[in-house]
Structure 1
Amino acid sequence: MEKIDGKTLDLTKENINTLKKLFPEIVTEGKVDFDKLKLILGEEINDRKEKYEFTWHGKAQSLKLAQKPSTGTLRPDKESSKKWDSTENLYIEGDNLEVLKLMQKSYFGKVKMIYIDPPYNTGQDFVYHDDFRDNIKNYKEITKQASKANTETNGRYHTDWLNLMYPRLKIARNLLKDDGVIFISIDDNEVANLRKICDEIFGEDNLIVQICHKARGSVSNDKVISPNHNHILLYAKNFMEVFKLRKQIGLDPELEGFSNDDNDQRGPYKLVPVDGPGGERKGNPYYEFLGVRGYFRYSKDTMEKMHKDGIVVKRGNSLLRKYYLEDAKKSRKTVTSWWDNVGYTSTATTRLKKIMETGVFDSPKPVDLIYRMLKLFVTFDKDALVLDFFSGSATTAQAVMQINQEDNGRRKFIMVQLPESTDEKSEAYKAGYLNICEIGKERIRRAGEKIIEEIGNTDLDIGFKVFKLESSNLKTWDPNTENLEQDLFDLQDNIKDGRSKEDLLYEILLKVGISLTTPIEEVELNNKVIYNVGFGGVLLCLEDEINLDTVQEMIKLKPEDFDTKVIFKETGFLNDSVKTNAIQTLKKNGITDVRSV
């Protein structure tokens, strides 16, 4: 019976296996013979001492850190989740480097689009420091104290930021599908360094474009020239695979998402807000209409006429205008690298404050910005998986729900965020949000309910399963312990105190490569629970004193059309005889993949 080792995907081993497939003659006893590889590649090898490269202090260690497997796990938190039993969305709290490692087996090559808005390293934002020896322990220590900014006076100012980004991007690339893409927001401060490491990780040929996003409308008078833009780097996992889709993604997404549920004689339309961005600053009229108060794009007389004509409608507590397909066709154009009409940071802050009923997050990204990215690359993939591992206020989750409500899509999101503490003087802290994760989860709850209220599509997935990064649920033997006899005695039950069978269940799923949202049925027999995962794909029993009756019940759950993995707790059998008979009985019934933890 094979023992599950409790580690994540070994990326070094995977790379060696890839080389072995291409050049089997260069691998001997699991080791790569680089001299043979040089002979095979001939003149394509660059062995000159002076060559073009981008390096910094700690780069080699960052690469090793990316390849070092994680021994952590993700523990389920049903209490802070929403619609646990039905949702396919995930919200994960923890250091994103460790989380990305834990996702390798289950989500390798499955993500259609990644968007991240990492720290810009402006001197005020938090830059996380990894620990090569024990990153899980380091993560726990960091989350117990206030986050500190990476100030410009730090002698390793750019180096620390590069050491943060490099291993995370390196691992994230593995999760992308062959036609997957990654968007990364950044400002002038680190855009040059970011582009260099992305060229190395994704390949220069896989850069699609560097987008300029007009992020603010106001002018900064304390600058020589007011910087009103941010950059968005867009890379493909495989440029040619994305290039094949150019007919789908080459046009502005304005023509998507139109419908005509109320048989409007003017044809299909979509609903857009009538409270314009920066309304107060632009001098838009402020008044109350149909019980909604705000700065509106139109005068009250015009609003009354548009409402009478059925163009302005009320949905929940919001006023929306019908934007007709015929009008959109007149302004249809090819997408360019200049994005000046997808919302300002100030507008996003105001709208988030409206959702949360208080100011909780500085400078969130506009929903419209990420919505445009989604419309470009996942419009024709209604089952796409979208990942954001610098989730912040969870704007990406709201954008995914918004695009799903327009076309009844089933796109899923995975949000990952470090539970960075909020400042005790901030509005967020005073409102009860002690860390950023609390803000993000509440934003998803409220935004989802608002979409349901406005549209009425109750089939929309607005839930999310919450998982939290932790050390493994399994004890490890430390031969250097002071009380060796007690340590060995404790290992007779190798699950840590305070950890549940469900905690262990999800750790196993991650380690064997099963998605965290795979359907799980609990089958009870004689007060013992059998977990039926993925309709028989994996059967687990993590109970004590397992007998052959339990084994026979698991055999009944085996599907006819595909193979089954069976997993037990190493110390769970009634005795060694039952364990031996169980393995033989399973084999006789066609189940040969039997493992233990």
Structure 2
Amino acid sequence: MSDEIERLDLRSEDLVEERLEQMRQLVPEAFSEGGVDFDKLRLLLGDEVDEGDERYAFTWPGKADAIRQSQTTSHATLRPCIEKSRGRGGEDGSFDSDNVYIEGDNLEVLKLMQRAYHGRVKLVYIDPPYNTGSDFIYKDTFADTIEHYKEEANLSGQSNAKTDGRFHANWCSMMYPRLKLARELLSDDGIIIASIDESERTNLQLILNEVFGETNFAGEIIWKNSSKNDQAYISMQHEYLLVYVKDKGSNSGNWTEKKGGLEEIYSAFEGFHAKYGNDWKAIHKAALDWYNHFPPSSPVYASKHYSWMDERGVYFPADISGPNDGQYVYDVKHPVTGKPCKRPSRGWFCPQQEMERRVSEGLIHFGDDEKTVPNIKTYLKDTEQQSLPSILYKDGRVASKKLARMFGAKVFSNPKDDGVLSQLFKAMDVKSDDVVLDFFSGSATTGEAVERMNCSQRIAAKWILVQLPENLEDNLRTATGSNKKITANAIKYLRSHGKDPLLTELAEERLRLSGDEILGEISSDSGQLTLDGTSQSQPDIGFRVFRLDDSGIERPRDGQLLIDRRKPGRTDLDIIFEAMLRWGYELTYPVEEAKFAGYPCYSVAAGDLVCCMQPGLTTDALDAIAASQPRRVLMMDSAIDDTTKLNALAIFRRVEERTQQKIELRTV
């Protein structure tokens, strides 16, 4: 410990310096006193350096600035809004939830999250502006970012007009730094899913290829969510979900989901069995007729080959041939004619003893006579899981109707379907304590989707949503067609509930309504036990609200002496959460009031950080704090004088020497 108490660094994580340090560890000889020696670095990289005049590249006007935007640090902070928050059990004004809702510009927020959430996010889902010409597009700047953000929030009615000479460039410049920062937050086995339509689908994939690497492209899902037929040329009835992993070496991609329509299929076959008994051929014929009543897009129709049934259940006759032509020449006798059945062209799939066992146990499907090659019975109950398909059929109106019912009117334009997202998150193996992030959260569908997944899977994943507080009254002035009525409905709802006409207010209200609905569903099912004999536990349906703002700590100008650096109007919790972000504590760590030798403090993360905010800090209190062996201690300048500083240094130095445990002491 030095002879001076250092000041807390009020900047967000410097990702450039972090990468330089990683390079120093890998190739220290490429560094000189002036920085990176690029000539030496080229020599060290050998043949991997492309020095040709022509090369493939994806670029646009403003790309260099977009890259720099992802590298600059932020001096902003996130202020807790306890009065707008909700407890994990649904109590308004409580602040104990593990979910986080952040009101603010997502670029600044992603920078502020770097220390606390670096490598901690399992899945990122985003539904960014599609750049149709009427979408609001963030215009980033290197000027005072918080003042600019506040201006942006008040200009949300403005759009990225197609007449702009940099129409696509503006969109690419907005997306690039945000995706770059999002990748830093992902865990090694992390996944990103990005929804998009045809307007920017190609550009989005090129950006994702650059940020994540082409080799980490996991696939594309075509979401058939519309039946509109009113466009010239080809009517677009689908959107895209582009899926990338951070590192295929850490994520094997064994993503599966339950086949759709299973309950309908099982129910139908129970009816056939009740009607036809053990007349399996009659059941087969009835099943084929039943399947043909469904459109080809139906998940029920997709399982049409499961059209047979026996005492064990529904099955389909699968290929019985093996890879070893002629290896097994034994005869399989037909159970009715007693004659040898026709052999498959590649020979039997298993040795004679195994085949005889399967025949004796009724696991082989035979034709009417021996002239037909037998088949293996593959049962639906054993194959209910399937790999994620590349085509998804889901009516896009379902989510709109659901939210209209919850609010009493249609208040969101084209919200995403929480059921679809819940199934995707589940298939991609999101588990308890995993974090799901959505930094273009809009109607907050991702939050409800995670909560519903938690209920169905009985896990406790967490969500973080970020949204610019767009002014809906500004949007109303520029809205056209049905969007004008939808926006007017939203404003009317918020006004009637005493809330400001902001998109964030509407989204938070959606989370409250959906949370109440989830609690109601659990309550109605409380008398029913799950398959393992236990009752349904209550999920976390709350959220902590934070608002992006400038730092709560004044930065003195040259020669200026500030006795109290706390800005007017900032609370103890404002300063504590700012310190937590700078030190890398997650926003959901517990912050509790504590006393040391009668002096009031705050304990963060069960005493890992102790914050001394009030005047009157005594030597006895310092002794008591040191005895608790925190890892970090924060002291407001206004709480200590020069004598207290010297005492603190001496006390904590003695504890360090005795325990060999470093205590990080900082002031603000």
TM-score, normalising length: structure 2: 0.73
| Matched letter for residue 430 of structure 1 | K
Shift of 1:397: 0.4
Q: Is the 8 A contact 2:122 2:189 kept in 1?
A: yes
Q: By how many angstroms is 1:445 displaced?
A: 0.9
C-alpha distance after superposition, 1:561-582 (max 9, x if no partner)? xx61111113421x21221111
One-letter amino acid of the structure 1 residue matched with residue 614 of structure 2: E
Shift of 1:353: 1.1
- Residue in 1 that maps onto 2:244: 235
Task: State the match for 2:565 in structure 1.
Answer: 494
Q: CA deviation digits over 1:126-154, x for unaligned, max 9?
A: 11101112221100112234421111111
Partner Cα separation in structure 2 for residue 79 and residue 557 of structure 1: 32
Question: Would you say the 8 A contact 2:458–2:537 is kept in 1?
Answer: no
Cα deviations by residue, 1:280-299 (Å, 9 ceiling, x for unpaired): xxxxxxxxxxxxxxxxxxxx
Q: Distance in 1 between matches of 2:399 and 2:597?
A: 55
What is aligned with 2:212?
202
Aligned pairs, how many? 511
Which position in structure 2 is the counterpart of 1:26? Answer: 30
Counterpart selection for 2:437 from 387, 396, 412: 387
Give deviations 1:475-534, integer Å, cap 9, x for gaps.
11234xxxx7xxx35x22111111111100000000010001011221135874311111
Shift of 1:332: 4.3
Contact 1:93 1:417 in 2 (8 A): yes
CA distance in 1, matches of 2:27, 2:200: 38
Give the structure 1 partner of residue 131 of structure 2: 121
Once the 2 structures are TM-superposed, how far is the Cα of residue 331 of structure 1 from its aligned partner? 5.6
User: Deviations for 1:417-463, whole angstroms, at most 9, x for unmatched residues?
Assistant: 00011134521012126111111111111111111111135631000
Q: CA deviation at 1:18?
A: 1.1
- The residue aligned with 2:386 is 333
Residue identity over aligned pairs, in percent, reads 37
Instruction: Return the alpha-carbon distance in structure 2 between the equivalents of residues 444 and 368 of structure 1.
Output: 15
Which residue matches 2:652? 586
CA distance in 2, matches of 1:160, 1:38: 33
- Between the aligned partners of 2:141 and 2:162, the Cα distance in structure 1 is 22
**Which aligned pairs between 1:294-313 and structure 2 lie closer than 5 A?**
none
- Whole-angstrom distance in 2 between the partners of 1:346 and 1:61: 39
Indicate yes or no: 2:9 matched with 1:17: no
Partner of 2:549: 470
The CA deviation at 1:13 is: 0.1
**Contact 2:388 2:427 (8 Å CA) reproduced:** no
Q: Which residue of 1 aligns with 2:509?
A: 442
Where do 1:146-161 residues align within 5 Å? 146-161=156-171
> Structure 1: which 5+ residue stretches go unaligned?
259-264, 267-325
Counterpart contact for 1:257–1:407, Cα < 8 Å: no
- Cα 1:587/1:255, change in 2 over 3 Å: farther
CA distance, structure 2, for counterparts of residue 334 and residue 407 of structure 1: 18
CA shift, 1:256, in A, is: 14
Question: In the TM superposition, what is the alpha-carbon distance from 1:550 to its structure 2 partner?
Answer: 2.2
Q: 2:628 aligns with which of 541, 544, 557?
A: 557
1:400 is aligned to 450
Rounded to whole Å, the distance in 2 between the matches of 1:403 and 1:125 is 30
- Contact 1:548/1:578, CA 8 A, preserved across alignment: yes
- CA drift of 1:403 comes to 0.9
Deviations 1:34-64 (A, max 9, x none): 1111000111001222111011111111111
Q: Does 1:430 align with 2:492?
A: yes
State the one-letter code of the partner of 1:538: L
CA displacement at 1:161 relative to structure 2: 0.4
1:181-260 alignment, distance < 5 Å: 181-216=191-226, 218-243=227-252, 246=254, 249=255, 251-254=256-259
Name the counterpart of 1:42.
46
1:165 to 169, 175, 183: 175
Cα deviation, residue 88, structure 1: 0.5
User: Following the alignment from structure 1 to structure 2, what is the Cα–Cα distance between the partners of residues 150 and 221?
Assistant: 24
What corresponds to 1:320 in structure 2? none
- Rounded to whole Å, the distance in 1 between the matches of 2:445 and 2:381 is 25
Deviations 1:248-280 (A, max 9, x none): x2x32459999xxxxxx99xxxxxxxxxxxxxx
- Out of 491-500 and 457-466, give the one that drifted further: 457-466
User: How far off its partner does 1:198 sit?
Assistant: 0.6
- The Cα shift of 1:539 comes to 1.2
Alignment of 1:515 onto 2:586: yes
